[in-house]
Amino acid sequence: QIVLTQSPAIMSASPGEKVTMTCSASSSVSYMHWYQQKSGTSPKRWIYDTSKLASGVPARFSGSGSGTSYSLTISSMEAEDAATYYCQQWSSNPPTFGSGTKLEIK
């Protein structure tokens, strides 16, 4: 199965700061999807098909990448963005998730 490695595992950012987190796949994938999860709640689809924002996701978020390297970027950190973000692939079975990047506000 494809292993997704997210880095960093934990990070913090100040309001207004640019944030980038990465997801590295053990084999090439066609698309990467990202989820936001806050404590005690279900994951929410955040970015799908590598770069498409899910409904209601602020435009300060973006996704990019190809092959084995993907990233999620926040152009200007806001307090509400503090959460854990997971990447996910389904280019091959079984679909797999990364272990998550926990983003905290400074």
Backbone angles phi, psi at 81, to 5 degrees: -85, -10
Nearer to another protein, 17 or 49 (CB): 49
- 61-74: strand order across its sheet: 4-7, 19-29, 61-74
| Two tokens, residue 34 | 């990202």
CB of 16 within 8 A of CB of 27? no
CB atoms within 10 A of CB 93: 8
Distance in Å, CB of 28 to another protein, minimum: 15
Judged by beta carbon, residue 14 or residue 42, the one nearer another protein is 42
Please, what is the minimum distance in Å from the beta carbon of residue 76 to another protein? Answer: 25
Q: How far is the CB of 42 from another protein (least distance, A)?
A: 4
The number of beta carbons lying within 10 Å of the beta carbon of residue 27 is 12
CB-nearer residue toward another protein: 6 or 77: 6
Shortest gap between Cβ of 14 and another protein (angstroms)? 27
Contact positions vs another protein (CB under 8 A): 31, 33, 35, 42-45, 48-49, 54, 86, 88, 90-91, 93-100
